[in-house]
Amino acid sequence: MLRMLLFFGTNIAIMIVLSISMRLLGIDTALEQQGGGLNLNSLLIFSAVFGMGGSLISLAISKWMAKKTMGVKLIETPTTQQEEWLVSTVEMQAREAGIKMPELGIFNSPQPNAFATGMNKNAALVAVSQGLLDNMNQGEVEAVLGHEISHVANGDMVTLALIQGVVNTFVIFFSRVIGHLLDRLVFKIERGHGPGYWIGVIFVQMILSVLASTIVMWFSRRREFKADEGGAYLAGREKMISALRRLQQVSNPQSLPDEMSAFGISGGVPTGFKRLFMSHPPLEERIAALENAQ
């Protein structure tokens, strides 16, 4: 809750600073001289409501979506020795990390992967693939579970959603300001919204959304290193390194679906320009960071 209040406060502070800056720079006056129809304060509020609202709604339904899209089978009452071990391991790690026991499940995928999600770190979901259980030894699975528990304990899902909400706010705001200017300066529309506005909103929002996603993905990559450190703390550094090396051996690694990719243990293989849009850093960099940790 404190994390959400801080980000809400930050978002409001940024909006106030932006509003004051635009007034001091005379941007609001220049826009008014180009014709009415654009109230910057109202636009800022509109952008924040839709930018933050959409991100928070997505976070709120993340567990439900994960269960449906990934076909997660929850372990409510362990029926096998492996399930009993999974439950006891996650219980121990959650207690060590200072959070409540999350829901635990398995999803049917031949690829070794795992993810964590949820709006509240004390009511989260952790799931592992059947492929991970089949291809990793117990120590490596323990490290992967520790990695995901660390995501939950660090509040990464909430933080990532709020960062997404902040960048969404500015994408909505600036796309509409630029659309308004196109209407007034290029299409000479004096009142209301003409073709320039809608062209600007659609294309500028697309461009800004791509740029904004690089910011979100940069943060996502940073938090993967922290989750690796958490996994190393909860399970042991050598186990965490071994788990990451095991992921390197997968001949055809695949990412989770887009809506879950940022919450997984492995995010595919980033190459070239695509690296900017990857939620996970290269496995070799993550291994090197653990090996060089003091």
Write the pLDDT tens digit of every residue in 13-26.
Answer: 666 665 666 555 55
112 φ/ψ angles, rounded to the nearest 5 degrees: -70, 115
Residue 233: the pLDDT is: 97
* pLDDT tens-digit map of 105-162: 999 999 999 999 999 999 999 999 999 999 999 999 999 999 999 999 999 998 999 8
Which positions of the chain have pLDDT values less than 50? Answer: 251
The two structure tokens encoding residue 289: 């960071």
Predicted confidence at residue 195, as pLDDT, reads: 82
Under 8 Å CB-to-CB from 218, ≥6 apart: which residues? Answer: 276
* pTM of the shown model: 0.82
Burial class for 230, CB neighbours closer than 10 Å (0-12, 13-18, 19+)? buried
| pLDDT at residue 6, rounded to an integer | 53
What is the model's pLDDT at position 152?
96
Catalytic one of 148, 229, 284, 285: 148
Residue with tokens 């991970």: 132
Does 148 qualify as catalytic in the annotation?
A: yes
